[in-house]
């Protein structure tokens, strides 16, 4: 009869095998993206052509579309949040995500030739963690209380007892520098033929079956990051899957 430790090891190995397979195939996606970033020239905004483009510039909020990040109340055009709870099992202590979400608004990306409207909806957004706290409390914070109400969440524990929570926040703020690979398509807010210049009638968006990627890294740093992720995905994912598969086989008596 297998011990509890052996049973736990089997469970971890199964999850590790699945995660390794995921990383392996994700590595091919990162490799494809890295090659596209390397091979596609950066376009100037004033001379954008319709179709897949690569641009780099500074974030300018569109009028009436400025957001507030939920935990730090920072001005932004996009935010993503996670609420995690500290949980304990017989052998493990871990953070479990119990709420998450994101919100984006139209914004302009500006370079030294002009600016173009951008809709971040459906983009893969690669930005670092901007805010983390375990001390937030909605009791005396009206903005936080209103946000918790909007997502149907309470930071109070059962019968008022406390919970150990962690709040994570990622955001894109005005004046942030962004790299964007997306589709230059029609701007639905501008009538045909009324734009002052070409980019006024263009909006960067998710195209049909096209990549849409937004990062706060410049092209050089992004290529280096994708190279590391590709290596980790392809080789790390394969290695993790093989090790975990070996453990599973040993447990099942195949070896």
Q: Dihedral (C-alpha) 31, 37, 38, 44: value to the nearest 10 degrees?
A: 180
Number of Cβ atoms within 10 Å of the Cβ of 23: 21
124-126 and 202-205 as β-strands: parallel, antiparallel, unpaired?
A: unpaired
pLDDT tens column, 153-190: 988 765 445 688 999 999 999 999 999 999 999 999 88
44 DSSP assignment? P
Residue 167 burial (10 A CB sphere; 0-12, 13-18, 19+):
buried
* SS3 category, 75: strand
Using CA of residue 228, residue 234, residue 235, residue 238, what is the dihedral sign? positive
Exposure of 111 by Cβ count < 10 A (0-12 exposed, 13-18 middle, 19+ buried)? middle
In whole numbers, what is the pLDDT of the chain averaged over residues? 90
Query: Nearest 10 degrees: CA dihedral of 233, 123, 207, 195?
Result: -140
Averages of pLDDT over runs of 10 residues in the chain (255 residues) are: 63 90 93 93 94 96 95 97 90 89 97 96 96 89 92 75 87 98 92 66 89 94 94 94 90 72
d(CA 203, CA 117): 5
pLDDT in tens, 68-86: 999 999 999 999 999 999 9
Q: Which pLDDT value is given to residue 79?
A: 98
Domain boundaries, the chain: 43-217
């Amino acid at each position: 009869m297998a011990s509890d430790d052996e049973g736990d090891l089997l469970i971890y190995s199964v999850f590790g095998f699945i995660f390794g397979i995921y990383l392996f195939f994700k590595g091919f996606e990162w490799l494809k993206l890295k090659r596209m970033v390397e091979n596609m020239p950066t376009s100037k905004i004033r001379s954008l052509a319709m179709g897949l483009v690569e641009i780099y510039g500074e974030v300018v909020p569109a009028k009436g579309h400025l957001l507030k990040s939920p935990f730090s109340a920072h001005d932004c055009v996009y935010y993503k949040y996670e609420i995690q709870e500290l949980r304990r099992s017989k052998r493990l202590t871990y953070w479990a995500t119990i709420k998450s979400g994101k919100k984006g608004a139209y914004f302009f990306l500006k370079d030294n030739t002009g600016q173009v409207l951008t809709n971040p909806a459906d983009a893969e957004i690669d930005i670092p963690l901007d805010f983390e706290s375990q001390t937030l409390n909605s009791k005396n914070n009206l903005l936080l209380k209103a946000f918790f109400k909007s997502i149907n969440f309470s930071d109070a524990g059962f019968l008022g007892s406390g919970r150990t929570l962690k709040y994570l926040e990622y955001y894109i703020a005005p004046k942030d520098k962004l790299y964007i690979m997306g589709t230059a398509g029609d701007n639905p807010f501008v009538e045909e033929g009324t734009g002052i210049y070409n980019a006024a009638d263009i909006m960067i968006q998710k195209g049909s079956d096209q990549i849409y990627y937004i990062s706060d890294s410049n092209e050089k740093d992004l290529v280096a990051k994708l190279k590391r992720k590709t290596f980790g995905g392809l080789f790390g994912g394969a290695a993790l899957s093989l090790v975990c598969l070996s453990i599973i086989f040993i447990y099942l008596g195949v070896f």
